[in-house]
């Protein structure tokens, strides 16, 4: 057993070092090439940058992940490896096309739908039961598969949307991958630990350049779609596990959906909040604006690095809090705690938002509060 664990640890070290070094070496070359070819991100009214920045950093992620899947081929079923490579490639080229020449949301969504649908031929990647979460148990495939497709596409796009300031997508991705890595390690699903380690190492290497003043580069949709695809995939894999494997992480099986939500809280909270504001403003939910949490933090005076580290730190704290809450006090109280956190953060960002939509929402809250007080004063 000890020899087995040591061999796994050597594998993890190899994956970490190889992906870190490859990404570290590839990024400057990708940056130089994108500058020569003119593939740069020009600032607009929504941008948090004033200079044109080269993009396509996600190319390094794609190459590193292909290498990781090759290394893990003895630990993952060959048909799953092939499916992952094909799905990853479709996601990658969809993002690449969008970075090179903006494509319509419909075509972008179609690429994601094809890639995600391919995964559903494997039971490892779709939800067949919630094991009693919110009273829901077995799900027939005609319900479980569409829900799984929807959730994975939602995570991909939510992660893509938080990639708005230096370091945020990378730091959140590291926190998410690290959280999943701990869970998969305790569940002895070492192949998925390897994927988590690959994500962590790539994003750490990328941060070196994303935070740089002279050698800055963006991951672009090429990178954010790829990373979003994998963190969503890891979440689905955790949700699709059999009941018997879960005592290793010391929380009930029906608590896993809430734990996955806690891990993915930043993209989930951000996209939910932005959609709500756009509905209040009677705008399309796909219309661009500056209501994302990273925009509000930057507009409040924080630097990109401080805002990204703050959000990443809060993400890690929530994962830590919810895990031990589920372990100690159980699911029902943890759901209440998670809901309260959601409301607190919603109110905080409402307070620091000086925009029209925030003023409108504050007015609605003020009217509701006045009606509530008048009711009890009668």
Q: Measure CA 333 to chain center.
A: 25
> d(Cα 244, Cα 307) in Å, to the nearest integer?
40
Instruction: Decide: 63 and 24 in contact? Cβ < 8 Å.
Output: no
> d(Cα 284, Cα 142) in Å, to the nearest integer?
29
pLDDT score at 258: 95
Average pLDDT, whole number, for the chain? 87
pLDDT score at 77: 84
Q: Which of 26-30, 76-80, 143-147, 339-343 has the lowest mean pLDDT?
A: 76-80
> d(Cα 197, Cα 66) in Å, to the nearest integer?
14
Give the pLDDT mean for 131-160.
92
pLDDT by residue (tens digit) across 349-377? 888 776 545 555 555 555 655 665 555 55
Binned at pLDDT 50, 70 and 90, residue 130 comes out as confident
Give percent of the chain above pLDDT 70.
88
Cβ-based burial of 169 (10 A; exposed 0-12, middle 13-18, buried ≥19): buried
Instruction: Decide: 341 and 279 in contact? Cβ < 8 Å.
Output: no
pTM of the model: 0.89
pLDDT by residue (tens digit) across 79-116? 899 999 999 999 999 999 999 888 888 999 999 999 99
> d(Cα 271, Cα 266) in Å, to the nearest integer?
9
Hey, where are the domains in the chain? 2-43+52-377
pLDDT score at 188: 87
> d(Cα 193, Cα 152) in Å, to the nearest integer?
19
pLDDT by residue (tens digit) across 329-341? 999 999 999 999 9
DSSP string, 288-324: --S-SHHHHHHHTT--HHHHHHHHHHHHHHHHHHHHH
pLDDT over 70 (residue 5): no
Give percent of the chain above pLDDT 90.
59
pLDDT score at 267: 95
Cβ count within 10 A of residue 320: 12
């Amino acid at each position: 057993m000890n020899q087995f664990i040591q061999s796994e640890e050597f594998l993890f070290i190899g994956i970490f070092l190889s992906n870190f070094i490859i990404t570290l070496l590839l990024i400057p070359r990708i940056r130089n090439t994108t500058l020569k070819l003119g593939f740069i991100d020009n600032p607009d009214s929504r941008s948090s940058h004033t200079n044109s920045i080269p993009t396509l950093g996600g190319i390094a992620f794609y190459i590193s992940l292909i290498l990781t899947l090759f290394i893990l081929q003895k630990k993952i079923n060959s048909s799953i490896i092939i499916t992952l490579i094909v799905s990853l490639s479709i996601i990658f080229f969809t993002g690449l096309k969008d970075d090179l020449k903006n494509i319509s949301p419909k075509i972008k969504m179609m690429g994601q739908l094809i890639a995600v649908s391919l995964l559903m031929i494997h039971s490892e990647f779709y939800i067949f039961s919630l094991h009693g979460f919110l009273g829901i148990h077995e799900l027939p495939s005609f319900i479980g598969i569409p829900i799984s497709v929807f959730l994975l596409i939602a995570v991909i796009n939510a992660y893509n949307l938080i990639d708005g300031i230096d370091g945020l997508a990378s730091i959140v991705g590291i926190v998410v991958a690290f959280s999943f890595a701990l869970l998969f390690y305790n569940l002895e699903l070492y192949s998925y630990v390897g994927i988590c380690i690959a994500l962590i190492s790539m994003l750490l290497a990328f941060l070196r350049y994303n935070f740089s003043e002279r050698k800055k580069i963006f991951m672009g949709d090429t990178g954010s779609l790829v990373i979003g695809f994998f963190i969503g995939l890891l979440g689905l894999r955790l949700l699709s596990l059999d009941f018997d494997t879960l005592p290793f992480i010391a929380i009930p099986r029906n608590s896993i959906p809430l734990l996955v939500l806690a891990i993915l809280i930043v993209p989930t909270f951000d996209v939910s909040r932005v959609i709500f504001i756009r509905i209040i403003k009677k705008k399309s939910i796909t219309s661009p604006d500056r209501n994302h949490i990273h925009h509000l933090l930057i507009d409040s005076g924080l630097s990109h690095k401080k805002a990204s580290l703050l959000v990443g730190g809060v993400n890690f704290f929530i994962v830590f809090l919810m895990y031990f809450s589920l372990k100690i006090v159980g699911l029902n109280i943890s759901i209440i705690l998670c809901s309260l956190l959601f409301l607190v953060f919603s109110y905080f960002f409402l307070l620091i938002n000086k925009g029209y939509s925030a003023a409108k929402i504050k007015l609605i809250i003020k009217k509701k509060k006045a009606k509530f007080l008048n009711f009890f004063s009668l």
